[in-house]
Amino acid sequence: MLEHAAGQPWIYPVLLVFFFIDGFATILPSETAIVGLSALSLHSGQPNLWILGATALVGAMAGDNMAYMLGRKIGLTRWKWMRRPKVQKMFAWAQYELDKRGAVLIFTARYIPWGRVAVNYVAGQTGFRHRTFFWLDAFACVTWVGYSIGIGLLAGQWVHNNPLLGVGIAVAFAVVLGIVVDHALRWWHKYLEKKDHAKKAAATAEASTVETAEKAVVGLDRSKPAG
């Protein structure tokens, strides 16, 4: 059934909706779909990888920009799932990172399922320039599509005689690699956040020292010679 469906023309509009929804509501495993279908395409030639890549790109960009527009229109507390503590914590993290390094965050968040949704909503809610967001997101989506198809092709080559087993291996490989990438990117952003706090603390300490020195100079009676 999977092989038959992969060769049907209706698979592309279905995938387009699939990737679109995943851009603003992480309830569908878009990475799993593109990786599995890429592995299947390696053996059967269907679906066409170029059309699959284009469909994933258009759907992902449309979904990300929908999240941006929703963030601008409805904010970050309209729906019940947005008010959950974990989601609010993610929104707070995205807002902090977006203020510090917007371009880097928009690019790397595309590889973190919940992270990208939070970043897209916060970018819209905080008034991040839409044109800048669009092009940064486009670049991120292009690399994400290439990365996902590459994983499917790489893992699919390990099993030559069993296409469906190749799909299973590709999906399992993608899940494991996705967890590694997710944790690595989160660790990197936390590392940058710690550096920001350290710089801020150093700047505060330096300002305090200068202020103390200035107060000492102001309190000095210059009419009397030193000693």
> pLDDT digit string (tens) for 57-116?
999 999 999 999 988 887 777 767 677 787 777 777 777 777 777 777 788 888 877 778
The model's pLDDT over 6-34, given as tens digits with 9 standing for 90+, comes to: 778 888 898 899 899 988 887 777 788 88
Residue 133, amino acid: F
> So what's the pLDDT on residue 64?
92
> So what's the pLDDT on residue 55?
93
pTM above 0.75, yes or no: no
Q: What does the pLDDT average to over 179-187?
A: 66
Confidence bin at 44 (pLDDT 50/70/90):
confident
Separation CA 39–CA 179 (nearest Å): 20
> So what's the pLDDT on residue 166?
56
State the chain's mean pLDDT as an integer. 76
> So what's the pLDDT on residue 117?
83
Which two tokens mark 56?
């994933």
Q: Are 106 and 137 in contact (CB under 8 A)?
A: yes
User: Hey, is 211 helix, strand or coil?
Assistant: helix
